[in-house]
Structure 1
Amino acid sequence: MPTPSRPAYAVRRKVSIMSRRSSARRGGGVSAPARLPRNPLQPTSLDFADLPAHDVESDATHRSLSFADIDLSGRSAESVEFMQCRFKDVDLSGTTLGRAVFTDCVFENSNLANLRAEKSSLVRAELSVLRMTGFHWTDGLLRDARFTESRLDLSSFRFTDFVAVLFERCNLTGTDFIKSDLSGAQFIGCDLTGAQFSQANMEGARFSHCVLVDIGGVTSWQGAIVRSHDLVTLSYTLAAALGIRIEDDENDASRHEHGTLTALTSRDSPDHVP
């Protein structure tokens, strides 16, 4: 009896991901400019999810479902798939996923703190006002994903590929981007204090109105695009990483003090006219 072959779309997806990842690891070529993420394709109506029928279980497939005010925390599953689903006021904290797939999904006002996903993909998704402290998405794929006003501090995206991913007004302090491919990522109005970027592919990554203090792995930022007003704090971190010491010019300081003293003396003079 012949062994059943894998679906063609699954093979194409795996080849596409691996090709892009190996290219990023080699560091070859110039990445295309980051584009805005595409919107998720949501149906006009969704069926309501219910437990235990729609629980997070291995090899389960959930399509066109609305998960509202449901506790899915502490689950563990492999190869679970969610397509065109909406999650609102859902607790997924502490859940562990392997090779999970989320396609055309929307997350709102939910708790994803300490969720851990490995070798998983998130494609065409909107995530807004989420608690995601300690969130781990490692060795995976984020494509056409928009994160808005969410708390992602102390999260990890190691070895993950970012394709058309946008972070807006998010707390990303202490987040780990080590060895990730950020060539398709944009950060707007985010706090990235203490974030780690060692050995990341930053070619084409964009940063605007962000806090870039105490960045780790700043020498990996070759090819990144940074707005001029964000560059001041980043330049101090870069100087420290390169062993450059910054000091004030003594002559400038002396001239400044002399000018201040002259102005005060002139103001206190009997001939001074206010």
Structure 2
Amino acid sequence: MPIRLSRQRAERARPGAPPTPVGLTTVGRVPAHRERRAAERADVPPQPRLPPSLTTAALPEHEPEPEAGYRRLDFADLDLGGRTVESVEFAQCRFRGVDLSRVTLDRAAFLDCVFARGSLANLHAERSSLIRTSLSAARMTGFTWTDGVVRDVTLDECRLDLSAWRYSRFGAASFTGCNLTRADFTGADLSGVQFTGCDLTRAQFSQARMAGTRFRDCTLLDVGGVTSWDGVVVSHQDLPALSYSLAAALGIRIADD
């Protein structure tokens, strides 16, 4: 049975080509030993802390309910789509092939959780937290995480086109091999976030805080909000595509001849 929670939540969010523009750093080829040291300095998200064994989740016993907590459960191939739940917490849980599409969450928390495959498409969450959580090969088109926390999180090979992360606060998070076309990071704090091998075509970064955000081997065509990129680190091979967005933001016209 679910564990009832008080309204005080554990680990709650704390408010907490052309010439390179001022504040934007490009990284070229560096010696291997320097590359290793840089990697060691980077904020690498820790892995979720799962126990050696989990209890198999089943419906209706583990149906998500408001003000409830679910711990050390293995959700496998279950249909949880379309639910609306407030103040729910999942801790040390694994979700394998689970359908969470069209779920609506408010003040939810996922701590030490693992998502593999499955669908979170059009999931809508507000004032919620993802902490020490990994997501891999998940369908997340239209995923919305507004005014929330994303800390110590890895997202690998996820389909995140049209996702929205407006005004969320990130810490030690990484996106690797993700489709982030038209993703919306308006007003988000992306300080220290790493994007590797991602497609960010037409992604929006207006009013985002991005000191220390890193992009490597990413597609950066028609990116919006590049005036917020003060302190960003971009690999040298990513700069040519980004240059067009930078030129447009500065009012520079590029001639064909």
TM bucket normalised to smaller: 0.7 to 0.9
**Equivalent position of 2:94 in the other structure:** 86
Unaligned runs of 5+ in 1: 21-32, 250-274
Q: Which residue number corresponds to residue 171 of structure 1?
A: 179
Match of 1:72, SS state, is coil
Deviations 1:56-89 (A, max 9, x none): 2101110000000100000001110000000001
Name the TM-score, length of structure 2 as normaliser: 0.86
Q: Secondary structure at the match of 2:46?
A: coil
Q: Which moved more, 1:49-58 or 1:206-215?
A: 49-58
* Counterpart amino acid of residue 96 in structure 2: K
Runs of 5+ unmatched residues, structure 2: 1-5, 17-40
Which residue of structure 1 lines up, in the alignment, with residue 217 of structure 2? 209
SS at match of 1:17: coil
- What is the CA distance between 1:241 and its match in structure 2? 1.2
Once residues 219 and 146 of structure 2 are traced to their aligned partners in structure 1, the CA distance between those partners, rounded to angstroms, is 24
Of 14, 31, 56, which residue of structure 2 is paired with 1:17? 14
**2:14 partner letter:** I
**1:233 offset after TM fit, Å?**
0.8
**2:49 corresponds to which letter in structure 1?**
L
The answer for the alignment partner of 2:45 in structure 1 is: 37
Please report the RMSD computed on the Cα atoms of aligned residues, expressed in angstroms.
Answer: 1.6
Over 3 Å counting, the alpha-carbon distance change for 1:99 and 1:69 in structure 2 is same
Moved over 6 A (4+): none
Aligned mate of 1:240, from 236, 243, 248: 248
Q: Relative to total residues, which structure has the larger helix share, 1 or 2?
A: 1
2:133 maps to amino acid: A
From 65, 75, 83, the counterpart of 2:73: 65
- 1:184 matched to 2:181: no
TM-score (norm 1): 0.80
Relative contact order (alpha carbons < 8 A, sep ≥ 6): 1 or 2 greater?
A: 2
Once the two structures are superposed, what CA deviation does each residue of 1:104-138 show, in whole Å capped at 9, x if it has no partner? 00000110000011000010011000000000001
**For the residues of structure 2 that align with 1:58 and 1:167, how far apart are their CA atoms?**
30
Return the index of the structure with the highest Cα Rg: 1
**Offset of 1:6 from its aligned partner?**
7.4
Contact 1:34-1:183 within 8 A present in 2 as well: no
